[in-house]
């Protein structure tokens, strides 16, 4: 078994928690459904269709909604849903009215573009980290948080928390270089396209929950930290070759009815775990986020109600399904992989 990077005798200066799953959990399904339209254009039916059938028979164990404007200036409405097994997701997809709506021929010729990026991932191939005992995302499907985790607060902690690093001696090497798919608008709009992902793409959802912050803490966050977060996410979005980041979306979370939830998250896919590690450890744009956070901790003398969390997934080709219907060519993985 390879050794972890955990320094000998390491005791993290602050506590953090990770999720554990019982052996009965073979995989978790992380499902992203989105719809895009030029910013300012009238929304189509996506939100009302999905809102009407996401809950009910075979519903996900956890679901949330978000919104963002992409680099092409399209507004995207997104639902993020988690199922405790592939069977559970497939049972929902088979029986929900949403899937019939999604699959209908008309969808390729309407005003909005639709995308879904669905990943089925074994617990041994993802990790979570929470600054407080308030689970969200995949952690909402795990065991209640136990003792704080030792593997954090040093560069390399993320890799150490992914079980297959040691269990399968896996270093999650990238499978080849990615060059732009260069689809034209004609090749992507009015089309229904599936793209196959290579193995070992690494996906991070890194969340900031300021819903519990008082007014003063919130304004410190907005002034001191948020500008660096926005800049870091724009850097990743706009510099794919330098960073190895294939797609980066900074989203505002909303509740299922669309009300702002005082939470945000960056959703970013990298060619490999090593690319994400390198950006986090060395790039000025993450270091600026990181340092601004510690400035905020100092300013507030350690008293924070801000909650930070993330989940990091190593995807595999077989467990991923990415479909783009009537989307612009810069959408998600459509930008990189030809159908």
- Please identify, using beta-carbon distances, which residue of 114 and 236 lies nearer to ligand HEM: 236
Among 178, 275, 286, 310, which one carries the catalytic annotation? 310
Q: Whole-number minimum distance, CB 202 to ligand HEM, in Å?
A: 9
Taking CA atoms, 182 is separated from 244, 250, 269, in Å, by 17, 23, 18
Binding footprint of ligand HEM on the chain (CB under 6 A):
16, 152-153, 155-158, 204, 206, 208, 225, 229, 266, 268, 276-277, 280, 286, 289-290, 293, 308
**CB nearer to ligand HEM: pick between 50 and 225:** 225
Q: Compute CA distances 304 → 123, 145, 158, 245, 300, whole Å.
A: 30, 20, 23, 31, 7
Shortest distance in whole angstroms from residue 66 CB to ligand HEM: 14
* Rounded least distance, CB 18 to ligand HEM, Å: 10
Task: Give the pair of three-digit tokens for residue 191.
Answer: 């089309």
Nearer to ligand HEM by Cβ, of 15 and 38: the residue is: 15
Task: Mention every residue, 6+ apart, whose C-beta is less than 8 A from residue 250.
Answer: 68, 229, 230, 233, 234, 237, 264, 265, 266, 267
Q: At what angle do helices 284-299 and 273-282 cross, to 10 degrees?
A: 50
Residue 163: CB minimum distance to ligand HEM, A? 15
Closest to ligand HEM by CB, 213 vs 268, is 268
The position carrying tokens 């960056």 is 266
Between 84 and 135, CB nearer to ligand HEM: 135
152 catalytic per annotation? no
Q: How far apart are CA 247 and CA 117, in angstroms?
A: 12
The smaller minimum CB distance to ligand HEM, of residues 155 and 260, is found at 155
Rounded-to-integer distance, Cα 198 and Cα 177, Å = 10
- Between the CA of residue 82 and those of 142, 154, 267, what are the distances in Å? 11, 29, 15
Residue 94 Cβ, how far from ligand HEM at the closest point, in Å?
33
Q: Which is nearer to ligand HEM, 157 or 174 (CB)?
A: 157
- Give the DSSP H/E element, type plus range, for residue 338: none
Cα–Cα distances (Å) from 69 to 31, 63, 115, 234, in that order, read 20, 21, 15, 12
Contacts of residues 160-163 at CB distance under 8 Å and 24 or more positions apart, as own/partner, are 160/4, 160/5, 160/6, 161/18, 161/127, 161/128, 161/129, 162/124, 162/125, 162/126, 162/127, 162/273, 162/312, 162/314, 163/123, 163/124, 163/125, 163/127
CB 232, min distance to ligand HEM, A: 6
Paired tokens of 97: 């009215």
CB of 165 to ligand HEM, least distance (A): 12
Report whether 268 contacts 203 (CB < 8 A). yes
Tell me which residues are annotated as active site.
Answer: 310
């Amino acid at each position: 078994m390879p050794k972890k990077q955990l320094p000998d005798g390491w005791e993290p200066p602050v506590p953090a928690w990770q999720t554990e799953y019982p052996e009965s959990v073979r995989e978790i399904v992380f499902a992203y459904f989105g719809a895009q339209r030029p910013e300012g254009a009238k929304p189509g039916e996506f939100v009302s269709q999905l809102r009407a059938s996401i809950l009910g028979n075979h519903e996900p164990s956890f679901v949330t909604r978000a919104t963002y404007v992409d680099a092409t200036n399209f507004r995207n409405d997104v639902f993020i849903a988690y199922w405790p097994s592939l069977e559970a997701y497939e049972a929902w997809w088979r029986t929900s009215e949403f899937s019939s709506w999604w699959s209908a021929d008309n969808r390729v010729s309407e005003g909005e573009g639709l995308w879904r990026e669905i990943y089925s991932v074994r617990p041994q191939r993802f990790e979570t980290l929470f600054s407080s005992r308030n689970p969200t995302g995949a952690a909402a499907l795990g065991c209640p948080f136990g003792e704080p985790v030792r593997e954090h607060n040093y560069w390399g902690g993320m890799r150490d928390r992914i079980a297959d690093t040691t269990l399968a001696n896996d270093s999650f090497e990238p499978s080849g270089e990615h060059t732009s798919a260069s689809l034209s608008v004609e090749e992507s709009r009015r089309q229904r396209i599936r793209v196959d992902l290579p193995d070992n793409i690494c996906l991070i959802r890194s969340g900031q929950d300021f819903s519990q912050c008082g007014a003063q803490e919130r304004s410190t966050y907005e002034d001191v930290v948020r500008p660096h977060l926005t800049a870091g996410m724009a850097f990743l979005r706009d510099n794919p070759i330098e960073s190895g980041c294939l797609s980066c979306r900074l989203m505002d979370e909303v509740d299922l009815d669309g009300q702002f939830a005082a939470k945000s998250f960056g959703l970013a896919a990298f060619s490999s775990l090593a690319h994400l590690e390198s950006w986090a450890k060395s790039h000025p744009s993450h270091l600026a986020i990181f340092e601004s956070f510690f400035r905020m901790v100092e300013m507030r003398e350690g008293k924070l109600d801000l909650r930070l969390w993330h989940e990091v997934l190593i995807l595999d080709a077989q467990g991923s399904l990415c479909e783009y219907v009537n989307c612009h060519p810069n959408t998600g993985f459509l930008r990189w992989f030809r159908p």
